[in-house]
Amino acid sequence: MPAHTETAPFAAAWQEWHAAHERHRADPHGFLAVTHLHWLGSSEARLEGAPGTWTVENDAVRVVLEPGETLERDGEELNGAAGATLTFGPIAERGGINLVSGERVIEVAKRGGEYIVRPRHPKNALLTEYTGTAAYAPDAGFALAGTFVPFSERRPTTVGAAVEGIQHVYEAPGEIRFSLAGEDLTLTAFNGHAPGTLSVLFTDATSGKTTYAANRSLAVGTPAPDGTVLLDFNRAVNLPCAYTDLATCPLPPAENRLSVAIEAGEKIPYERQDQQ
């Protein structure tokens, strides 16, 4: 393990980043606001936390609203005539749309090839009682240089999920090689949120002890022309499944289950500590 090192500018930058990440996590309609997880099928169903009767047909979600029920999309009311069918989709895998019904936001998405509906309410107890996530003190010794090595072709990589029975398939553009605690290590990288950036899912020797057992995620910036990247594990974060069973988060690929202890980044959420 690296010797603990901390400088005032490094710690201040981490504190600013962590505070911003906590604000984003506590958004009134973020994942802490999710109240239900509904899997849609070909049979019509009323869903708790959402107006209307829902079904899936021809790779699209169909909703019939009763009189007095409303849905909005991008500020536009979608009531239609009584008994009229609203259609949403097709929706791409890991894509989704948000509908509004009063104070609720109704997420409609596709996960593992199936359509889901997740109502979100700002008064959900998980959100209103949230007090923050513990993390290791920032340690510059865990901000490591790595090298991104692209694959000759993107590799479809199948991983499990926090919800049993579904899988996620990601196109892996390459791997990141780095050294820690005297070991040469490799992480399969997936595409990040912004074009050119990367993301890694991993576990390590702290998982299930001081950090969440199933996974953590680390965003990685765009590689330099020579492939150099920064792996700042101080910014390793929990995924939604660390807080709620209503999440479908991916699990790390087998090769990303590291044997070294990465004592940096976010720890087990208080909400899960009695389950570890």
- Condensed to tens digits (0 to 9), the pLDDT of residues 195-221 reads 999 999 999 999 999 999 999 999 999
- Domain assignment present for 145: yes
Of 218, 85, 112, the residue nearest 166 (C-alpha): 112
- Percentages helix, strand, coil for the chain, rounded to the nearest 5? 15, 40, 45
The 3-state DSSP class for residue 250 equals strand
Over residues 88-100, mean pLDDT: 95
Based on the fold, state whether residues 142 and 95 are members of the same structural domain: no
Structure tokens given for 73: 């999309």
The bridge status of strand 198-202 relative to strand 216-220 is antiparallel
Q: What is the rounded distance in angstroms from the CA atom of residue 69 to the CA atom of residue 79?
A: 7
Based on the fold, state whether residues 123 and 137 are members of the same structural domain: no
Based on the fold, state whether residues 63 and 137 are members of the same structural domain: no
- Domain assignment present for 21: yes
pLDDT above 70 covers what percent of the chain?
A: 95
pLDDT of 4: 56
- Domain assignment present for 1: no
- Domain assignment present for 196: yes
pLDDT confidence bin for 67, thresholds 50/70/90: confident
Based on the fold, state whether residues 89 and 151 are members of the same structural domain: no
- Domain assignment present for 221: yes
Based on the fold, state whether residues 113 and 177 are members of the same structural domain: no
Its domain, for residue 164, covers 8-26+133-275
The 60-64 sheet, strands edge to edge: 45-46, 53-57, 60-64, 85-88
pLDDT of 17: 98
For residue 168, give Cα distances in angstroms to 110, 215, 253. Answer: 11, 14, 10
Based on the fold, state whether residues 162 and 269 are members of the same structural domain: yes
Q: What is the pTM of this model?
A: 0.91
Res. 168: pLDDT tops 60 = yes
pLDDT of 134: 96
Res. 51: pLDDT tops 90 = yes
pLDDT confidence bin for 75, thresholds 50/70/90: very high
pLDDT of 81: 63
Query: Of the candidates 94, 112, 128, which is a domain's last residue?
Result: 128
Based on the fold, state whether residues 270 and 154 are members of the same structural domain: yes
Based on the fold, state whether residues 142 and 249 are members of the same structural domain: yes
pLDDT of 2: 56
52: Cβ contacts below 8 Å, ≥ 6 apart: 46, 63, 64, 65, 66, 69, 71, 86
Based on the fold, state whether residues 185 and 258 are members of the same structural domain: yes
Average pLDDT, the chain: 94
- Domain assignment present for 109: yes
Query: Of the candidates 105, 128, 151, which is a domain's last residue?
Result: 128
Q: What is the rounded distance in angstroms from the CA atom of residue 115 to the CA atom of residue 9?
A: 45
Q: What is the number of structural domains in the chain? A: 2
**Spatial contact of 93 and 110, defined as CB atoms under 8 Å apart:** yes
Based on the fold, state whether residues 19 and 53 are members of the same structural domain: no
Res. 130: pLDDT tops 90 = yes
User: Which amino acid, one-letter code, is at 163?
Assistant: V
Based on the fold, state whether residues 175 and 246 are members of the same structural domain: yes
pLDDT of 275: 57
Based on the fold, state whether residues 269 and 174 are members of the same structural domain: yes
Query: Of the candidates 74, 102, 128, which is a domain's last residue?
Result: 128
Q: What is the rounded distance in angstroms from the CA atom of residue 250 to the CA atom of residue 191?
A: 14
- Domain assignment present for 103: yes
Res. 225: pLDDT tops 60 = yes
Res. 50: pLDDT tops 80 = yes
